[in-house]
Amino acid sequence: MIKVYLKKKISRRVENGHPWIFGNEVDKIEGDVKGGDTVIVFAHDKKFIGQGFINPQSQIIVRLLTREKSDSIDEFFFQKRIQEAWNYRKKLGYVENCRLVFGEADQMPSLVIDKFNDYFVLQTLALGMDVWKPAIVKALEEIFNPKGIYERNDVPVRELEGLMQKKGFLSKPFDTNIVINENGLRFNVDIENGQKTGYFLDQHDNRRAIRNIVKDADVLGAFSYTGSFEIHAAHYGAKSVLGLDISENAVNSATKNAALNGLENIVQFKAVNAFDILKKWSKEGRQYDVVMLDPPAFTKSRETIQKAITGYKEINLRGMKLINKGGFLVTSSCTNLVPPKLFLEIIQMAAKDAKRKLRQVSFQTQAPDHPIIWDMENTNYLKFLIVQVE
């Protein structure tokens, strides 16, 4: 077995539970290393730390899978881990659709599996996890007897690991346009061509949180994608709902989803740039009772964090200007690079510039099928805020 020894003078992050080891934290490696191999990690004083997988090509050279000396990393190990992840979701009532595996938060770094009823979509985002793909597929088959398994590994981060981007079937081919149920509504999910894994499950509980504020309201939703928030608003009794997305494909799929739920007379979608149109409409004096914003991350790296701050501030400022006195802003941010405290500060700056006063109604995060591990920043990523705007 390959042995990795850490340097003496490094932060205690890894010893305290973080699963990532950076190349510059390694003192020496004993044995011939091939990318993807299982390794045992020791502290400088030869104290056992854990076992994980190595990729000398990646900045994160080792990702730990276990802190147990007695575990052997094999097919059975992954079956056990996936079963544990499933038990947790079942316990919390996420049975039909859920994020079945949320990487580090389920002690399976770089593995994402979304369960859409009988269909499973997975991403293996590190080399050491990618080599276990057959074992993972086998475990899914044994535990769930699924109707289909698909890989959405068409993600640029794989290239940092020396992996190709790809997507395709990991089971017998099946029709990748499926319909899921959420909160009593139905949504088309395009497993092959949808964004990320096809549908954003992380907001499934937050979509219910708008229930009371949208009743009898004129609602504007920007960054609507599948139209999920907007269709929920119509379902919960909104007078009118308009959803905006820059992508024609997204607007088409949202329009289909509105019809699927018989709500096409209440909710409409339009393909436009939300930044431009919100500015135009606030100049024209348009007003809504509720404005909902769910923009993309705006940045992928810490270096360009200012870009994200500017983007969030700008869109929230424009959104607030469109809200009636006493109306509500429902606003999200999906990047862990903007932590909750900073997000609230950005919203406060926007309110100041818009000359509006806010009352916090609720502040939530992603649903419990995406559990958060303290000290692993990337697991704490979604902010979902409802404020009343005076």
- Which residues of this protein are in contact with ligand SAH, per CB under 6 A? 200, 203, 222-226, 228-229, 244-247, 250, 273-275, 294-296
Q: Which SS3 state, helix, strand or coil, does residue 294 take?
A: coil
Distance of closest approach, residue 158 Cβ to ligand SAH, in angstroms: 21
H helices present in 105-245, as ranges: 127-130, 133-144, 228-235
CA distance 241 to 220: 6
Distance of closest approach, residue 193 Cβ to ligand SAH, in angstroms: 13
Q: Are 34 and 4 in contact (CB under 8 A)?
A: no
CA distance 218 to 322: 11
Distance of closest approach, residue 27 Cβ to ligand SAH, in angstroms: 43
Is the CB of 229 or the CB of 328 nearer to ligand SAH?
Answer: 229
CA distance 233 to 230: 5
Is the CB of 55 or the CB of 228 nearer to ligand SAH?
Answer: 228
Q: Residue written as tokens 């190349």?
A: 23
Distance of closest approach, residue 9 Cβ to ligand SAH, in angstroms: 43
Is the CB of 176 or the CB of 228 nearer to ligand SAH?
Answer: 228
Pairing of the two strands 240-245 and 119-124: unpaired
Q: Which pair of structure tokens corresponds to residue 353?
A: 């510039």
Is the CB of 135 or the CB of 246 nearer to ligand SAH?
Answer: 246
Distance of closest approach, residue 75 Cβ to ligand SAH, in angstroms: 35
164 Cβ partners below 8 Å, 6+ apart? 158
Is the CB of 117 or the CB of 195 nearer to ligand SAH?
Answer: 195
Q: Which SS3 state, helix, strand or coil, does residue 134 take?
A: helix
Is the CB of 137 or the CB of 254 nearer to ligand SAH?
Answer: 254
Q: What is the DSSP string of 69-108?
A: SS---SHHHHHHHHHHHHHHHHHTT--SEEEEEEGGGGT-
Is the CB of 41 or the CB of 220 nearer to ligand SAH?
Answer: 220
Distance of closest approach, residue 198 Cβ to ligand SAH, in angstroms: 10
Helix axes 340-354, 305-321, angle to 10 degrees: 40
Distance of closest approach, residue 14 Cβ to ligand SAH, in angstroms: 34
Is the CB of 229 or the CB of 236 nearer to ligand SAH?
Answer: 229
Distance of closest approach, residue 360 Cβ to ligand SAH, in angstroms: 21
Distances, alpha carbon 109 to alpha carbons 41, 104, 165, in Å: 16, 4, 18
Torsions phi, psi for 374 (to 5 deg) = -60, 145
